[in-house]
Amino acid sequence: MNETLDLRPVIPAAMVALTGLVTLLAQAFTPKGQRAPSVAISLTGLAGALASVWLLGQEPTRGAVLAGALTADGLSLFLQAVILAVAIVTVLLTPGYLSANGIERGEHYALLLFAVVGMLGLVSSLELVSMFVALEIMSVALYGLAGIDRARRESQESALKYFITGSFASAFFLYGIALIYGVTGSTSIERVTRALGVMGPQALPLALLGAAMLLVGFGFKVASVPFHMWTPDVYEGAPTTVTAFMSAGVKAAAFGALLRVFDGGLTSLASHWQPLVAALAIVTMLVGNLAALAQTSLKRLLAYSSIAHAGYLMTALVARPALATEAILFYLVAYAAVNLGAFGVIAALARDRREPATVADLAGLSERRPALAAALTVFLVSLTGIPVTAGFVGKFYLFGAAVSSGWVVLALVGVLTSVVSAYYYLRVVVAMYMEPPLGEDNFAAVPATAVLALVLSAGVTLLFGLWPTPVLTLARLASRGLF
């Protein structure tokens, strides 16, 4: 890839960073007693960044910038569009939820925007050190978001747990970078690939140890077993809109970087890391789904579901790189829409610092809020992988990529655990439609912005379940960015 002085590839991240600063300044200069226009500013900046991603995609040639550290290839632009779309939906969900919980703080939107900056940098990095910097920008902002509800002890606890485990993950990742640099003399993914291709056998153990450390660091971020223990507590304790953003945005960013490092950079070591990834995928699918069976808390149930879906995504990681990338990119789109919608329904019902906490709290929801019950049913059905939803198409391509590359056992475990997941997903549907309501209707009226966010999420889930071709085509073109 040719290096150029053209700085257009950094425009989306720069726009979001500038928007974050403007949001902070707007909060500081808004007269006391008035509300800063944080939502409007955030949506404007994110929409502008998304438009710049689209314009960059129309350019015939896009090189690497900043000494080859960042790129605007098909893979990065695809994932940047996903991340920005996730951020826009999150911002639409946020104002009503913050108001219902008494945590209307302008820094919330600034932290969210700075987390997006880290995510955009993570998926566009061609160099391990810049990838680490982007990872830390994202992580530090998320630590603050997780603990922003300072009046709730659970929120503070989630921030502390996320910070401690995230620090360990960063240490592993940084040590892996050091080992790879020691073997290859470079942290550029392209140069690392070339160096590993001509590496002597005496350097193999150190290179494998470095790859393993990188895998541990990514494992924490994508919530794969055995690096998943933070996920249920953090998802449950963080504000629900923050949990929605983390579940969708962090997975897209982390898996994008994981693809670039392993399928794009460490291909010469594939015969060594693929069996390890396959084992992690199997354990992750089993633990995530079996643990979810015992959950009564909605957010913990969805947290273990998130762990299971990390396992599904990892089944394709061991397939042939082109197939793996295409399948994973499509699934990230489907998963982002579904998780934003599922957590968004919970957030939309929040009122006076209360929200549905358990499956029993949703009993009879179809009588009180039929539209929300129908939307949540669509999202849960998609997570299960039932036809006519994007989740079904995504799992079909994930498991198909594994089978076509000879990893039939992985696909079989994925199918069987998906069947198991139907029990705990459909248990929520049964509660909404077949159990009588408990007590009075204490749920809030759904704000207009949240309605728009849920309509967008449900529309994407159903549209790409019935007509996946446009996203699959874009994913196929984006996958060429790795090669």
CB atoms within 10 A of CB 96: 23
* pLDDT tens per residue across all 483 residues of the chain: 444 456 778 889 999 999 999 998 988 787 776 777 888 999 999 999 999 999 888 876 666 666 667 888 888 899 999 999 999 999 999 988 888 878 877 788 999 999 999 999 999 888 899 999 999 999 999 999 988 888 788 888 888 989 998 888 899 999 999 999 988 888 888 888 888 877 777 778 888 999 999 999 999 988 898 888 888 999 988 899 999 999 999 999 999 999 889 887 788 888 888 899 999 999 999 999 999 998 888 999 999 999 999 999 999 888 877 788 889 999 999 999 999 999 999 988 887 777 888 888 888 888 888 899 999 999 999 999 898 899 999 999 999 988 988 889 999 999 999 999 999 999 999 999 988 877 666 666 788 888 999 999 999 999 999 999 999 999 988 887 665
Q: Roughly how many angstroms between the first and final C-alpha of the chain, as a whole number?
A: 10
CB burial class (10 A; 0-12, 13-18, 19+) of residue 29?
Answer: exposed
Q: Is residue 20 domain-resident?
A: yes
Q: Is residue 459 domain-resident?
A: yes
Nearest alpha-carbon partner for 155 in 213, 240, 76: 240
Q: Is residue 3 domain-resident?
A: no
Euclidean distance between CA atoms 275 and 292, whole angstroms: 26
Number of domains the chain contains: 1
Euclidean distance between CA atoms 69 and 7, whole angstroms: 12
Identify how many contiguous H helices and E strands the chain contains and give both numbers.
Answer: 20, 2
Which range marks the domain in which residue 319 is found?
8-482
Q: Is residue 1 domain-resident?
A: no
Query: What pLDDT sits at residue 2?
Result: 46
CB burial class (10 A; 0-12, 13-18, 19+) of residue 28?
Answer: exposed
Amino acid at 203: A
Q: Is residue 2 domain-resident?
A: no
Nearest alpha-carbon partner for 83 in 253, 335, 243, 327: 253
Q: Is residue 295 domain-resident?
A: yes
Euclidean distance between CA atoms 351 and 444, whole angstroms: 5
Q: Is residue 104 domain-resident?
A: yes
3-state secondary structure of 168: helix
Alpha carbon 247 to chain centroid, angstroms: 5
Q: Is residue 292 domain-resident?
A: yes
